[in-house]
Amino acid sequence: MKRITRLSLIATIALAGTSQAALALEATDFADRLVETSKLMGVAFTYGSASAEGDTVTISDFTISIAGEDDVEVPGDVVFTGVVETAEGGFTAERATIEDVDYTDEDEGITLNFVDIAAEGIALPAEVSVDTMLETGFNLYDRISAGPLTVSDVEGNELFAIALMEVTIDEAAADGGVTSGFQVTGISADLSAIEEPEAQEAFATLGLEQFNASMSGEGTWWPETGEGTVSDVSFVVDDLGSISMDFAVEGYTEALYSELMKLNLKMAEMAEADIEMDDEQMMAMSEAMMEPLANVKLVSGALRYDDNSLFMKVLDLVGAEQGVDGETFKAGLQFMVPMALAEVENEAFKTMVTSAVNTFIADPQNFTISVEPEEPIAFSEFEDMEAEVEADPFVLVDLLNVQITANQ
């Protein structure tokens, strides 16, 4: 199973790499530019050969190197079509594709099929450097897509599938904001394939035979101001419910972005030099990458759950274990809320939580936890407050201006 997961990751990583490339009519020049561009993403590429025919460039024997990981050989060729060299010496390409992945793990009795892996609207700059990496990052690609992905058993029965995975980057808006988005649609799983009796009993109680879901979200960054928003990042399970999140930050500046890219370059150089890293070194590198983010400030955020039958199904399941139906358990649950909060000293917070929770229990529609501090708070402040928060977690309620609501 690990080998199957690895192959699917190969396809995804290879696609991400190709999307960071642009094409040259001179195949070797293009391939070398691809290698240089990829370093800004912390990845080192090598290739065996590159050839051009008309406006199509084919790169063979692609190998991906990431510091601290084993090298990964990309199956087949990477093919770029619609290649044009720009007047400035950069390159654009309409589309890049890699071969479909079709792999069978005989030991696990599972076959993985991953098709239609592509990047569109690809661009490489004339010069790849730290000074140009902001523009390079914005123009690497318009769209990356892949799928369907299917996992089947030896008899051909579909166990798991994803219809489409997609990432997009829009052109900068008039106010300088750059928006990117993602979606993963047609997620499905055959729950009957899970053999554990307890799991099957739970599925039967919940009335579930098939799991169907989707994910999506988008974010916008304004480099000149350092402001950023992530909106409506959601995970939806059909006929059950959904979870969505949004937040806003400030302080994510061009200078911070440059520091992160410099760390990526260092990681790529280490991978290129085949420098091995132990767990301690990897942890140090991760901390180095997180350090520039410490002064990014939280402006606001919200986490929301929308119910579509899951809540009552869970109550039916839990109630059945105690010999009662879901409605009976629900009635008792409303009396338990004040008891659970009895030791909370913040009376205003206790009242707010009790009201919201009981409103949701009585009529399960939606439940939201949001924060909107009076002034944006740097993430480093939370680390400085670790001892204070450990002694009194509710200090965060006032600091973050936590609000809890239901059915709004």
CA pair distance 148, 189, nearest whole angstrom? 13
Q: Quick count: other Cβ atoms within 10 Å of Cβ 364?
A: 22
Q: What is the pTM of this model?
A: 0.82
15 burial type by CB count under 10 A (0-12 exposed, 13-18 middle, 19+ buried): buried
CA pair distance 293, 281, nearest whole angstrom? 19
CA pair distance 325, 312, nearest whole angstrom? 10
Q: Which residue has the tokens 């084993």?
A: 70
CA pair distance 389, 386, nearest whole angstrom? 5
CA pair distance 230, 181, nearest whole angstrom? 9
pLDDT, tens digit, 9 for 90 and up, residues 190-245: 888 887 888 887 788 777 888 899 999 999 999 999 999 999 899 999 999 999 99
Q: Quick count: other Cβ atoms within 10 Å of Cβ 101?
A: 22
DSSP letters along 283-308, please? Answer: HHHHHHHHGGGGG-EEEEEEEEEEES
Q: What is the mean pLDDT of the chain?
A: 85
- Any idea what DSSP says for residue 170? P
The SS3 of residue 85 is strand
Q: Model confidence at 9, in pLDDT bands (50, 70, 90)?
A: very low
Positive or negative: CA dihedral 13, 17, 19, 20:
positive
Residue 68's nearest CA partner among 271, 332, 372, 337 is 271
Tokens of 374: 């009076």
Helices marked H in 172-278 — which ranges? 197-206, 254-272
Q: Model confidence at 6, in pLDDT bands (50, 70, 90)?
A: very low
In DSSP terms, 114 is beta-bridged to: 101, 149
pLDDT, tens digit, 9 for 90 and up, residues 257-305: 888 888 888 888 888 877 777 777 778 777 777 787 888 999 999 999 9
In DSSP terms, 84 is beta-bridged to: 92
In DSSP terms, 57 is beta-bridged to: 52, 80
Q: What is the C-alpha end-to-end distance of the chain, expressed in Å?
A: 44
For residue 292, give every residue at least 6 positions away whose Cβ sits within 8 Å of its Cβ, in sequence order, or none: 256, 259, 260
pLDDT, tens digit, 9 for 90 and up, residues 57-84: 999 998 888 877 778 888 889 999 998 8
Of 347 and 117, the structure prediction assigns the larger pLDDT to 117
Say what the alpha-carbon torsion angle 309, 311, 317, 318 is, to the nearest 10 degrees.
Answer: -170
CA pair distance 25, 33, nearest whole angstrom? 12
